[in-house]
């Protein structure tokens, strides 16, 4: 569908206004549904605390870790921390 067809159906006469409405609609669609979602797996290393995050990452939607209590390949979500941890780290970082 072209901009002209949208303008005819909505009875909008100004092209700039129609394009602004289309851009707003596309932004709202993007906020409602996730687009360009990429899954990346990083192996956990014993005694390693920090891992690098890809520079192209805009938002992290979920972090999962393989369930160590079973032999199944089930990944469980790690809950998000809202407050500072009550216990300080021993390395002071």
Domain assignment present for 13: yes
Alpha carbon of 37 to those of 16, 50, 56, 58: distances in Å? 31, 23, 11, 10
Neighbours of 21 (CB within 10 A): 14
pLDDT digits (tens, 9 = 90+) for 5-35: 999 999 999 999 999 999 999 888 877 877 6
pLDDT of residue 92: 64
Domain assignment present for 8: yes
Range of the domain at 9: 3-32
Domain assignment present for 89: no
Domain assignment present for 40: no
DSSP-assigned beta bridge partners for residue 66 = 75
Domain count, the chain: 1
pLDDT of residue 32: 80
> Taken in order 71, 75, 79, 81, is the CA torsion positive or negative?
positive
Give the pair of three-digit tokens for residue 22.
């289309």
pLDDT of residue 39: 81
Give the pair of three-digit tokens for residue 72.
């199944």
């Amino acid at each position: 569908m072209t901009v002209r067809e949208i303008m005819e159906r909505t009875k909008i006469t100004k092209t700039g206004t129609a394009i602004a409405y289309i851009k707003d609609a596309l932004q709202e669609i993007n906020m409602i549904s996730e687009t360009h979602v990429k899954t990346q797996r990083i192996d956990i290393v014993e005694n390693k605390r920090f891992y690098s995050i890809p520079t192209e990452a805009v938002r992290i939607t979920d972090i999962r870790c393989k369930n160590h209590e079973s032999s199944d390949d089930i990944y469980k979500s790690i809950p998000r921390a809202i407050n500072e941890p009550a216990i300080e780290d021993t390395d002071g970082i």
